Structure 1
Amino acid sequence: MKTLIASAVFAAIGIAAIPPAQAGELWRATGLEQPESALFDATNNRIIVSNIVGNPGEADGNGYLSVLSLDGKMVTRHWTGGMDAPKGMAISGGKLYVADITKVRVVDLASGKLLSSIDVPKAVFLNDMTSDQAGKVYVTDMLADAIYRIDGDTPELLVKDAALASPNGVFADGDRLIVASWGKGIKPDFSTAEPGGLLSVDLAGKVITPLPGAQKFADLDGVIAIGDTIYATAYMTGTLYRYKAGGTPEVVAQFKPGSADIGTDGRSVIYVPLMNEGEVAALKLD
């Protein structure tokens, strides 16, 4: 009965339901504490996980980073501390950049040593991060409808616009950023008056473009792209979607609510943090 209801809902809002078996689960890492982001580190063949450990918006000093092996084993539970509520991450120039409420933490990628903190003026709730081919780093400010660019240690406002609709996930894709928006009119329980969708931000002209067929369908969290396919998570429902230009979002896998900032090896594996479960799941795509 639940499957029939879910199928009817997906059909009603124009989303094609795909059996979860199309994304085969390889493993689950357990024992994490509110894992928000899972980033693939190609240089060192590992996965770095951010642990919030408490209120995502509170500067409580509880947050830290963990390291997993590519088969899901815990390598170092407390790899880097000195953080509050770390979320999205990006790698550039041998450094790891971590979004931490109103700061971006800079970590030595080789050792895990916390090097510095970059204050982002007027930031409210920094969330996801990505880096482009030139080594510039980008971070979303979900509660301020803004995206910042960091070149070296200097942050600058790239774009601030209500059209971003609470930008959460961000992924550098050539000359654009792919953005996963949470939606408009965020309520105390983080549901929305209007759900989010997928957007594109042109890096040269800073033009925001809604991706056709992928609007107002879910409160989106993490986003990545593998080739011409975009994958995004919906935190409130635990759904992993995929989208191709000219189509509509399709369900790839279903988890419990709490699927957050996904990572990928860039080929065929997606790493899904399950924030409410304290786990990270690895999925092999067909």
Structure 2
Amino acid sequence: MARADRELQPPVADHSRTARVWETPDTFLTPESVLYDPVRDVVYVTNFDARWSETTEFTGYISRLNLDGAIEELRWVTNLNAPTGMSIHGDRLWVVERGNLTEIDPDRGELLRRYPISGSEFLNDIAIDSAGNIYLSDTSPSSLSGSRIYRFKDGVSELWVDSEQISMANGLYIHGDKLLVGNSGDGFLKAVGLGDKHITDIACFGGGVLDGIRVDNHGSYLVSHWKGQVYAVSDSGRVVEVLDTMAAGMNSADFEYIPDRNLLIIPTFLGNKVAAYRLTEQ
């Protein structure tokens, strides 16, 4: 699906493919990311707290929802420093905080350890490959011309990609032998080879914050734009807007997609809600 050219194919809208299933009350504290845990059949929500920089206290936390949208535990893991992306590998939940990668026991809801990521400015999303390598995007707002992707394994982090082709990297997702990157600096979804680090453009969204990435049942990429849209990208690079939450005054941050339910679960950030939508077949 990777494209060698940088041709812009303007997105088209087809909202008929999505229908809202449920929506929580606005009881969250700036929900930034959601993650489904199939082993425990629960959805985790990071509460970023948009005012995190105004205090020295760690006011962020993780909530637990069931798949019907009921809140099982609002403040499940607390005292987190503006948590963002999450991923599960083995029996551990990994969470991104400011300057740290944090390891959590999902059975006990216990924070086990924080691993500082030296040199990072604003760690954002996380993806884990089959070998257990953990990739972290550093949005690095002070450097618009380039940002970094770190790799972490066995307690050690390294700078993995530092390239002008990667700028304000946000959303990450492992797909086959590639790391997909929501490159907010130029508005492109990109693929980075896990072996050779070769960077290829996939599709352009015309700018903005590319927050979440998933793959649907047909192999199309699903990408969220923080402002309030979710897009589907076909094999040809055609971009279709399948959801727009802006009219409801909600963002569309780092979402989850559950393939066997065709379910999109959207953290609405400043909307302080989590909403679920059914994604129908093309």
TM-score by length of 2: 0.87
Aligned partner (choices 93, 96, 107) of residue 96 of structure 1? 93
Shift of 1:215: 5.3
Aligned partner of residue 222 in structure 2, secondary structure: strand
Aligned partner of residue 179 in structure 1, secondary structure: strand
Q: Distance in 2 between matches of 1:94 and 1:153?
A: 16
Aligned partner of residue 76 in structure 1, secondary structure: strand
Moved more, 45-54 or 256-265: 256-265
> Does the 8 A contact of 1:82 with 1:114 survive in 2?
no
Q: Percent identity?
A: 28
Q: Distance in 2 between matches of 1:42 and 1:134?
A: 20
> Does the 8 A contact of 1:90 with 1:137 survive in 2?
no
Query: Structure 1 segments of 4 or more deviating over 4 A?
Result: 56-59
Q: Distance in 2 between matches of 1:119 and 1:157?
A: 13
Aligned partner (choices 111, 114, 123) of residue 108 of structure 2? 111
Describe the superposition over 1:185-241 as per-residue Cα deviations: whole angstroms up to 9, x where unpaired: xxxxxxxxxx51200010000111111x425344311111124111111112x1111
In the alignment, is residue 278 of structure 1 matched against residue 280 of structure 2? no
Q: Could you say which residue in structure 2 is the equivalent of 1:266?
A: 259
Q: Could you say which residue in structure 2 is the equivalent of 1:172?
A: 174
TM-score by length of 1: 0.86
In the alignment, is residue 55 of structure 1 matched against residue 45 of structure 2? no
Q: Could you say which residue in structure 2 is the equivalent of 1:221?
A: 211
Q: Could you say which residue in structure 2 is the equivalent of 1:27?
A: 22
Describe the superposition over 1:7-54 as per-residue Cα deviations: whole angstroms up to 9, x where unpaired: xxxxx9611111x23111111122111000000111100100000123
Q: Distance in 2 between matches of 1:174 and 1:259?
A: 25
Q: Could you say which residue in structure 1 is the equivalent of 2:3?
A: none
Describe the superposition over 1:231-258 as per-residue Cα deviations: whole angstroms up to 9, x where unpaired: 111112x111110221321100100252
Aligned partner (choices 9, 12, 17) of residue 13 of structure 2? 17
Q: What letter is aligned with 1:27?
A: W
Q: Distance in 2 between matches of 1:37 and 1:120?
A: 20
> Does the 8 A contact of 2:184 with 2:207 survive in 1?
no
Q: Distance in 1 between matches of 2:134 and 2:114?
A: 14
Shift of 1:285: 0.9
> Does the 8 A contact of 1:50 with 1:88 survive in 2?
yes
> Does the 8 A contact of 1:129 with 1:138 survive in 2?
yes
Shift of 1:137: 1.7
Which 5+ residue runs of structure 1 have no aligned equivalent?
A: 1-11, 184-194
User: RCO (CA 8 Å, sep 6+): is it higher in 1 or 2?
Assistant: 2
Q: Distance in 2 between matches of 1:162 and 1:215?
A: 19
Shift of 1:173: 0.7
Q: Distance in 2 between matches of 1:109 and 1:99?
A: 15
Q: Distance in 1 between matches of 2:205 and 2:62?
A: 33
> Does the 8 A contact of 1:196 with 1:220 survive in 2?
yes
Shift of 1:262: 0.9
> Does the 8 A contact of 1:90 with 1:131 survive in 2?
yes
Aligned partner (choices 154, 163, 166) of residue 165 of structure 2? 163
Q: What letter is aligned with 1:121?
A: S
Shift of 1:153: 2.2
> Does the 8 A contact of 2:52 with 2:59 survive in 1?
no
